Amino acid sequence: MNYPNNIKKVKTANKVITYGNRGMGLESLINESCEYYNEVDRALIYKKPTPIGISEASYNSKGRVIKNGYFKAPSTLDYNGIYKNKYIEFEAKETSNKTSFPLSNFHEHQIKYIPRVLAHGGICFIIMKINNIIYLIKGSDFISFINNNERKSIPYDWIVKNGFVIKEGYNPALNYLDVVDEVYFEGE
Amino acid sequence: MNYPNNIKKVKTANKVITYGNRGMGLESLINESCEYYNEVDRALIYKKPTPIGISEASYNSKGRVIKNGYFKAPSTLDYNGIYKNKYIEFEAKETSNKTSFPLSNFHEHQIKYIPRVLAHGGICFIIMKINNIIYLIKGSDFISFINNNERKSIPYDWIVKNGFVIKEGYNPALNYLDVVDEVYFEGE
């Protein structure tokens, strides 16, 4: 991974602390925000560890260690948890494209999974970064775009029209739950 | 892992199919049941991949591979998902002890985490196997036992009195959602 020079990274045993948002990847912004929400007990939302396959393992003084492992393709979304009594699950994706968001960023299994979460009563959305703006796209809108279009990417116009802007800030770095409140809990 | 001789195991590229429950570990029973619930669309519940740390990685034709990885201690519970519009999270543990269930089977972080899931409105419980019987223990009962006792293990008597027996069966191998219905959705 490459980090821009204006970000100071401190590696500790188990986690990486990053100071300042500028240039931070979308996923890091969200991870930090989840940690913040967790600390202030606003929500319990975690990034699921990437599923791995182990083809070789051994044992040392600390227990089982992986000697050969590979990453599996996820069939669900990256983040899930609980917020205001509701199940919540979402995916975070960014693109350097300017005019559209390529759907190749999503695994087919993930796309099929979204309507299922909705049918079971969960809150489900995508956090998309394009043209340096971060949008929340409702899962239902995302799926209806895919069902009604033969396109391989989502035009930027559509995102601007249907998305809800999530502003970057400080603590949390990305206050996406305020937008979730607006979109899913308004009037409660 | 050791499998008894009466279990036929077939290894495929990404998953292990097991025929017959006899002698199956608790976790395998639950994993199979989750898969079954998923297929018949009764619930979306997954085992969280064990979080791993990577200290060495390399790249081959398939992408990034792990050359040195270790397992981290989980701070949440093993399984989570959505069932009947509700967030659900639980842990599965078994013991060969006969008279009590050692609390050392749980990480301290996990014990602290249970009341938080409950406070956010989730369904949270432990599936415990002891003396070859599988019990669902409500998270609230489990926590109240810990708060009101100085003990390092839960006496079997207490489990029998407070637990709800989950019977083994066929498809799903462990129909724990029927017990969840009974315990959490009765009267709905």
Q: Percentage of chain A surpassing pLDDT 70? A: 86
A143-168 confidence digits (pLDDT tens) = 999 999 989 999 999 999 999 999 99
Cα-Cα-Cα-Cα dihedral of B28, B32, B35, B37, to 10°?
-120
A93-148 confidence digits (pLDDT tens) = 999 999 999 999 999 999 999 999 999 999 999 999 999 999 999 999 999 999 99
Enter the ipTM: 0.81
A13 compared with A42, residue with greater pLDDT: A42
Q: Do B48 and A43 touch (CB under 8 A)?
A: no
Asked if A63 reaches chain B (Cβ–Cβ under 8 Å), the answer is: yes
Asked if B37 reaches chain A (Cβ–Cβ under 8 Å), the answer is: no
Nearest by CB to residue B87, choosing from A49, A87, A119, is A87
Phi/psi of residue B143, each to 5°?
-70, -40
Asked if B169 reaches chain A (Cβ–Cβ under 8 Å), the answer is: no
User: How far B67 CA lies from chain A's nearest CA (Å)?
Assistant: 5
**Cα(A38)–Cα(A35) distance, integer angstroms:** 5
Question: What rounded mean pLDDT belongs to chain A?
Answer: 86
Q: Do A49 and B50 touch (CB under 8 A)?
A: yes
User: How far B124 CA lies from chain A's nearest CA (Å)?
Assistant: 12
Res B188: pLDDT: 63
CA triple A67-A70-A75, angle to 5 deg: 145
Catalogue all structural domains in chain A, each as residue range(s) with its CATH number.
18-184 (3.40.1350.10)
Query: Which residues of chain B make contact with A86, given a CB cutoff of 8 A?
Result: 87, 121
User: In a structure prediction context, what are the per-residue pLDDT tens digits for chain B, which is 188 residues long?
Assistant: 344 444 434 444 444 444 445 557 999 999 999 999 999 999 999 998 777 777 787 888 777 787 787 777 778 999 999 999 999 999 999 999 999 999 999 999 999 999 999 999 999 999 999 999 999 999 999 999 999 998 999 999 999 999 999 999 989 999 999 999 999 998 66
Q: CB-based burial of residue B64 (10 Å sphere; 0-12 exposed, 13-18 middle, 19+ buried)? A: middle
Query: Which residues of chain A make contact with B107, given a CB cutoff of 8 A?
Result: none
Res A69: pLDDT: 76
Do residues A177 and A84 make contact, with C-beta atoms less than 8 angstroms apart? no
Res A21: pLDDT: 52
